[in-house]
Structure 1
Amino acid sequence: MLPTSRQILFAISSICFALIAVALYLQHIEQMQPCPLCVIQRYMFLAVGVASLVSAISGKIREGTVLALMAALGGLYAVGKHLYVIANPGFSCGIDPMETFLNKIPTAEYLPWLFRADGLCAGATDSVLGLAIPQWSALWFVILSVLLVFVLVRKAR
């Protein structure tokens, strides 16, 4: 028996919040400082998680799933750029206007332990279980996008 759309959305939400917890562990325990693109990915994982959770709780499956999918696709774009930066060492997004802008957003000012960008994008090459952090992020955004599309297609029937 297949899980219901609400169960899938609760699972997606849990996965997103767990990924944020892993990011915080890597930042605060392993001293891996997030770069601007990492922080954007955090925002996207949170958006997917919150939209999925609200959708599952409220019963507005289609609306919440579409919002979550848009955030997941935004995350895929951000991680795609991040992987491009890593693959092209001369290209950087380090200390630049994007970092300054991100660090001035109220969430970064009030929750710097979660949203402050202090690292260099090109430096995110440390591997965890064989993949760099941006590669893991890309994998999870793909998985979440596929699950969200499944919920949308399934609900449309």
Structure 2
Amino acid sequence: MKSSKSLYLLVALVSIALLGFAMYLQIVEEMQPCPLCVIQRYMFVLIAAFSLLAYFLPPSARRAGAGLGLLAAIGGAGTAGWHLWVKAHPGVSCGVDPLETSLNQILPAKLFPQMFSADGFCSAPWPPVFGLQIPTWALIWFVILGLVLARLAFKRR
């Protein structure tokens, strides 16, 4: 039981580290996030928040936190998959459109514009990171975190 509890903390820390890497890419490498990038950031925040919540909940309530984190991971994976599709089809846009405008108007974007303000284009040809595009890495991590959370949510007692 103790190892399961530490998995919640590990999932939260990985999600926070990925958000930190996103900030590094934005500030140091000057890669501006697009609306789909920002949505993926929100999903990593939700995964971290639900995992931390589950970590501090009593054992009987942890499955709910894992289930909510799993839903966020599925949403993030879907967004990352869509982002990869947009990058593969440059004619499709998600730049300055209603999605960007609405994302930049919600409270987290106003409170933390550095993290949640969308200023880039989804089809921007950024250089790969360790040989893969950034949305590919996000998809990989959403799948990994989702599998861990699924194991925690659906394991037998």
TM-score w.r.t. the length of structure 1 is 0.95
Deviation at 1:3, TM superposition (A): 6.4
Deviation at 1:124, TM superposition (A): 5.2
Unaligned stretches of 5+ residues in structure 2? none
Query: Which deviates the most, 15-24 or 50-59?
Result: 50-59
8 Å CA contact retained: 1:36, 1:118 = yes
8 Å CA contact retained: 1:127, 1:133 = yes
Deviating 4+ runs (over 3 angstroms): none
Pairs within 5 Å for 1:78-157: 78-123=79-124, 125-154=126-155, 156-157=156-157
8 Å CA contact retained: 2:103, 2:117 = yes
AA of the residue aligned to 2:145: L
8 Å CA contact retained: 2:63, 2:154 = no
Q: Deviations over 1:16-42 (max 9, x none)?
A: 000000000000111000000000000
Distance 2:17 2:92 in 1: 31
Distance 1:93 1:113 in 2: 19
Question: What's 1:19 paired with?
Answer: 18
Query: Which deviates the most, 53-62 or 31-40?
Result: 53-62
Unaligned stretches of 5+ residues in structure 1? none
**When the two structures are aligned, how many residues end up with a matched partner?**
155
Distance 2:90 2:21 in 1: 26
Question: What's 1:64 paired with?
Answer: 65
8 Å CA contact retained: 1:13, 1:50 = yes
Deviation at 1:61, TM superposition (A): 1.0
Distance 2:46 2:27 in 1: 22
AA of the residue aligned to 1:57: F
Distance 1:124 1:17 in 2: 25
